[in-house]
Amino acid sequence: MARELAVTERTRVHRHPERAQTGRAALHAVLDEGLIAHVGFVRDGAPVVLPVAYGRDADTVYLHGSTGSRAFRALAGGAPLSLAVTLLDGLVLARSATHSSMNYRSAVVFGRGEEVTGEGAKRDALRVVTEHLAPGRWAEVRPVTRKELAGVLVLAVALDEASVKVRTGPPHDDPEDLGLPIWSGVLPLSLATARPVPDPTLAPGVPVPHSVSTWVAGPGAPLGGGGR
Q: What gap in Å lies between CA 5 and CA 160, rounded to an integer? A: 8
Taking residues 195 to 214 in sequence order and writing x for each that binds a second copy by CB under 8 A, - otherwise, the string is xxxxxxxxx--xxxx-xx--
Nearer Cβ to a second copy, position 3 or 194? 194
List residues bridging with 222 in a β-sheet: none
The only residue of 70, 77, 78, 150 in contact with a second copy, by rule CB under 8 A: 70
- Smallest separation (angstroms) from a second copy to the CB of 101: 8
Note whether 193 binds a second copy by CB under 8 A.
Answer: yes
Note whether 6 binds a second copy by CB under 8 A.
Answer: no
Do 81 and 157 form a contact (C-beta atoms < 8 A)?
A: yes
| Stretch of 17-25, 55-63, 84-92, 114-122 lying at the interface with a second copy (CB under 8 A) | 84-92
Note whether 167 binds a second copy by CB under 8 A.
Answer: no
Nearer Cβ to a second copy, position 3 or 145? 145
Nearer Cβ to a second copy, position 3 or 22? 22
Q: Which residues contact 88 (CB under 8 A, 6 or more apart)?
A: 102, 103, 104, 189
Q: Which residues contact 5 (CB under 8 A, 6 or more apart)?
A: 11, 22, 23, 24, 27, 161, 162, 163, 164
Q: What gap in Å lies between CA 109 and CA 61, rounded to an integer? A: 10
Q: What gap in Å lies between CA 44 and CA 28, rounded to an integer? A: 32
Nearer Cβ to a second copy, position 22 or 138? 138
The only residue of 7, 25, 150, 178 in contact with a second copy, by rule CB under 8 A: 178
The only residue of 95, 113, 154, 159 in contact with a second copy, by rule CB under 8 A: 95
Do 71 and 50 form a contact (C-beta atoms < 8 A)?
A: yes
Which 109-128 residues touch a second copy, going by CB under 8 A? Answer: 110, 126-127
Which 26-65 residues touch a second copy, going by CB under 8 A? Answer: 35-36, 38-51, 53, 65
Nearer Cβ to a second copy, position 3 or 51? 51
Note whether 96 binds a second copy by CB under 8 A.
Answer: yes
Q: Report the b/e string of 205-221 with b at 16+ CB within 10 A.
A: eeeeeebbbbbbeeeee
Nearer Cβ to a second copy, position 25 or 139? 139
